[in-house]
Amino acid sequence: MTLPLSNSAFSYALHYQDSGAIWRLSSFLLEHIPFHHENLVFCCIGSDRSTGDALGPLIGSLLSNYISFPYRIIGSLEQPLHALNLKETVDSLQEQSIKPFVVAIDACLGEQQRIGEILFQPGPLLPGKAVKKELPPIGDVSIKGIVNFGGFMEHTILQTTRLNVTYEMSNRIARALYLAFHRHSLKNMHNRNYERNH
């Protein structure tokens, strides 16, 4: 669970209920996530014990259900990536022989009028910041979903966040990621066919 930065810090933001949100988000992700990378990893951070903090684990589980999604997914409802195992995971990723490109995904708190926004930013996110936890930064890029408002009683806010909001945002982010990968695959296939024919 992170805190959003100022608007200028984000490359992209849209509300999950916007018209064409999945297609528009997939178009942006297709341009900013290297789906060709040989060690692309999705780290879906959060806890299944809190409705507000379950965005990451939900996305991890949804992506895992896409049999053809070929990338490593860390964090799910069954095996959450959270405060207790985050440092171990970061250390493990840094020790890999092929440097991974990490997409970090987490819920965050923001202003009341921005609840439901999906945010993308270059660079790592700082998990646990919203609830005053000091955890290592993670991610080459990050995707965040504003699930509720912040500023006070963050733990209570997370526990009372509507599951429907968290689930609907998770569903759209997972579908956008899968669509971006699928479009990447089709583009590669088209390019190979073009080269073969010419």
Tell me the mean pLDDT in the region 23-34: 96
Report CA 40 to chain centroid distance, whole Å: 13
Q: pLDDT tens for residues 128-153? A: 766 667 889 999 999 999 999 876 67
Q: Percentages helix, strand, coil for the chain, rounded to the nearest 5?
A: 40, 20, 35
- List, in order, residues 6 or more apart from 22 with CB less than 8 Å away: 172, 175, 176, 179
Q: pLDDT tens for residues 88-143? A: 999 999 999 999 999 999 999 989 999 999 999 999 998 876 666 788 999 999 99
Which range among 60-64, 120-124, 190-194 shows the weakest confidence by mean pLDDT?
Answer: 190-194
Q: Taking Cα atoms as reference points, which of 46, 43, 44 lies closest to residue 1?
A: 46
Which range among 1-15, 19-33, 109-123 shows the weakest confidence by mean pLDDT?
Answer: 1-15
Assess whether pLDDT exceeds 80 at residue 196: no
Assess whether pLDDT exceeds 50 at residue 14: yes
Contact assessment for residue 135 and residue 89, using Cβ atoms and an 8 Å cutoff: no
